[in-house]
Amino acid sequence: MHGVLKDVVFDTPELRLRESGCLLRLRQAGSVVTLTYKGPSEPGLHKVREELETRLWEPRALVSVLARLGFEPVFHYEKYRTEYRTTSRAGTAMLDETPVGVYLELEGSARWIDRTARQLGFTQEDYITLSYGQLYLDWCRRNQVEPSNMVFS
């Protein structure tokens, strides 16, 4: 896959999901729209968390349902993503170009991630398990920019 991903994070006005380490995201990739729930991350070197996804055929209706349940858009972010998969499908490497930097995401078993990272010249000290929201907030702090949305101009 190669293309732009447009993501919208939903939360309550009190940011209840963010405070609990959870995420509710609506992603548009071309004509495909996906709703994703991510649970809190388990502590450790690799980011491990529950992830539930479903494709949507009526995203506008879902946004209305979410609003009635008290959820509103709190953060928009975009990235250009290129995915690479091995023939064994043991894992996926995703190169994400964002407005605040370029990141390589490795998704698979811990063993596959560690082996692939080493082959690419990375060590465990290079691992980042922060969300794009947190990476953006950190970038804003370092660059003395008022946070809003992480989108291309």
Task: List the CATH number of the domain containing 132.
Answer: 2.40.320.10
Task: State the average pLDDT over residues 11-40.
Answer: 97
Q: Would you say residue 86 lies in a domain?
A: yes
What percent of the chain is modeled with pLDDT above 70?
Answer: 99
Q: Would you say residue 148 lies in a domain?
A: no
Q: Which two three-digit tokens encode residue 133?
A: 């929201």
Residues constituting the chain:
153
Q: What is the pLDDT of residue 52?
A: 98
CA pair distance 128, 120, nearest whole angstrom: 15
Q: pLDDT tens digit string along 98-115?
A: 999 999 999 999 999 999
pLDDT level of residue 142 (50, 70, 90 thresholds)? very high
Q: pLDDT tens digit string along 44-82?
A: 999 999 999 999 999 999 999 999 999 999 999 999 999
CA pair distance 143, 87, nearest whole angstrom: 41
Cα dist. 38→21, 35, 111, 138, 152 in Å?
8, 10, 22, 21, 25
pLDDT of 86 > 90? The answer is: no
Q: Would you say residue 54 lies in a domain?
A: yes
pTM score: 0.92
pLDDT of 2 > 80? The answer is: no
Q: Would you say residue 149 lies in a domain?
A: no
Contacts of 62 (CB under 8 A, 6+ apart): 26, 35, 56
Task: State the average pLDDT over residues 19-26.
Answer: 97
Q: What is the pLDDT of residue 1?
A: 58
The residue ranges of DSSP E strands in the chain, in sequence order, are: 2-11, 23-29, 32-38, 51-56, 72-85, 91-98, 101-108
Q: Would you say residue 71 lies in a domain?
A: yes
Q: What is the pLDDT of residue 119?
A: 96
Q: Which two three-digit tokens encode residue 70?
A: 């008290």
Q: Would you say residue 126 lies in a domain?
A: yes
Range of the structural domain that residue 77 is part of: 2-142
Contacts of 78 (CB under 8 A, 6+ apart): 4, 5, 6, 7, 98, 99, 150, 151, 152
Q: Would you say residue 150 lies in a domain?
A: no
Domain count, the chain: 1
Cα dist. 75→6, 72, 148 in Å?
11, 9, 7
CB 94 within 8 A of CB 104: yes
Q: Would you say residue 147 lies in a domain?
A: no
